[in-house]
């Protein structure tokens, strides 16, 4: 299947709303529905009604993108006075900062951190609904989408991390999920941000993609071969069409198919999600990204190295990098005393255990007391941000890690 067709299939699968009228988290679902139905922002519609203080900020990147950040400065009902340790939460591909707020407060990492004494900052990456502005470009202009995850590491993260650092006067802890780990690792490998970061927790860490096993993801990545020139003009991956709709409606109509399992076909068999959260995710959390970002992931998958975006042209690469091929990111260059926690799943088909091991091999010279690797055998990719038991299996240990390195 051609890349464009795969893109339609993947995007529509994620964007379909399967209206699961199930018990649990209904109050939280109603808050998210109000976000969709009104012009209220994240603070007014989602955070404040749960009893948390919420603040909104705008940050401009060096290349002109205007990003929104949300801050939960303390736990529900306030808390003890004094400075709180800032933590920045960075979402993954096709998601935004609502990633950290999808579950009820006792299960959502942003709320859990706030209730445990942290000053929580939530980012929304360029192109997502809360960060779709630029100082001179409109999102309808293809030039707005002329970036890959290189720019997220080079511009977005320095802007958001730097803003929190300046605003709070403190080094911060970092939490990334999926692509939010790749951009951080890439920046760290070039010596960026490390002077402002106390420690980093990487959930479902993505670096190498050699062993990516998700059927749809692997097929789509393979289909990117030779697609750079033909897809460069597409502004985003948010391309559901009637053709895609008809295709998936016919698949979902088959009696042997449970459409809930489409998420498993994309991310691996997530063990611990409830239907209500999945419904919220599918209805509200698909966010556009640039086609160049997807091409960049395809290049990583097909070539087995972590490198900057390849323009598939010696002249274009020379103009961008001063050499005919894109330079590699060397994870072994990450400063050896930066505390890192890698938490990964045995069932994750996007961040495969063998790929995580390749990353750990690159980090083999890291200070032993500054590197923690946690394998959660039953978890897949989305469990780390949506599982009902993530607090017990992952977040409590993450908080202990942060407290140790505060």
Element (H, E) at 292: helix 291-303
Given 15, 108, 178, 204, the catalytic residue: 178
Given 173, 366, 381, 405, the catalytic residue: 381
178 included as an active-site residue: yes
Radius of gyration of the chain (CA): 20
381 included as an active-site residue: yes
What is the DSSP code (8-state) at residue 17?
-
Neighbours of 239 (CB within 10 A): 17
Q: Is the dihedral of CA 387, 182, 294, 59 positive or negative?
A: positive
CB 176 within 8 A of CB 193: no
How buried is 394 (Cβ within 10 angstroms: 0-12 exposed, 13-18 middle, 19+ buried)?
A: buried
314 included as an active-site residue: no
Given 348, 352, 362, 383, the catalytic residue: 348
The Cα 198–Cα 339 span in angstroms is 7
Enumerate the active-site residues.
178, 348, 381
């Amino acid at each position: 299947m051609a890349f464009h067709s795969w893109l339609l299939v993947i995007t529509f699968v994620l964007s379909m709303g399967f209206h699961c009228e199930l018990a649990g988290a209904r109050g939280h679902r109603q808050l998210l529905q109000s976000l969709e139905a009104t012009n209220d922002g994240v603070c007014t519609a989602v955070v404040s009604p749960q009893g948390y203080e919420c603040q909104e900020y705008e940050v401009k990147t060096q290349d002109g993108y205007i990003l929104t950040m949300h801050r939960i400065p303390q736990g529900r009902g306030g808390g003890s006075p004094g400075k709180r340790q800032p933590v920045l939460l960075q979402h993954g591909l096709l998601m935004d900062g609502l990633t950290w707020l999808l579950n009820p407060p006792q299960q959502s990492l942003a709320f859990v951190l706030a209730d445990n004494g942290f000053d929580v900052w939530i980012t929304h990456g360029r192109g997502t609904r809360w960060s779709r502005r630029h100082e001179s470009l409109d999102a309808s202009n293809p030039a707005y989408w002329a970036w890959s995850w290189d720019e997220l590491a080079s511009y977005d993260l320095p802007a958001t991390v730097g803003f929190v650092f300046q605003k709070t006067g403190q080094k911060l802890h970092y939490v990334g999920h999926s692509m939010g780990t790749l951009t951080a690792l890439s920046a760290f490998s070039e010596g960026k941000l490390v002077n402002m970061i106390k420690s980093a927790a990487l959930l479902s860490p993505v670096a190498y993609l050699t062993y990516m096993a998700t059927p749809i993801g692997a097929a789509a990545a393979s289909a990117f071969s030779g697609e750079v020139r033909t897809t460069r003009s597409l502004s985003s991956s948010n391309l559901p069409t009637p053709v895609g709709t008809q295709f998936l409606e016919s698949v979902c109509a088959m009696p042997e198919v449970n459409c809930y399992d489409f998420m498993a076909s994309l991310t691996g068999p997530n063990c611990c999600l409830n239907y209500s959260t999945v419904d919220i995710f599918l209805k509200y959390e698909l966010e556009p990204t640039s086609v160049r970002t997807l091409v960049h992931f395809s290049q990583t998958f097909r070539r087995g190295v972590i490198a900057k975006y390849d323009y598939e042209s010696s002249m274009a690469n020379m103009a961008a990098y001063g050499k005919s091929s894109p330079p590699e990111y060397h994870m072994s260059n990450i400063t050896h005393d930066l505390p890192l926690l890698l938490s990964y799943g045995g069932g994750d088909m996007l961040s495969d255990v063998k790929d995580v091991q390749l990353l750990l091999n690159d980090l083999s010279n890291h200070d032993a007391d500054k590197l923690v690797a946690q394998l959660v055998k039953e978890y897949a990719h989305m469990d780390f941000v949506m599982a009902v038991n993530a607090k017990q299996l992952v977040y409590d240990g993450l908080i202990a890690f942060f407290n140790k390195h505060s």
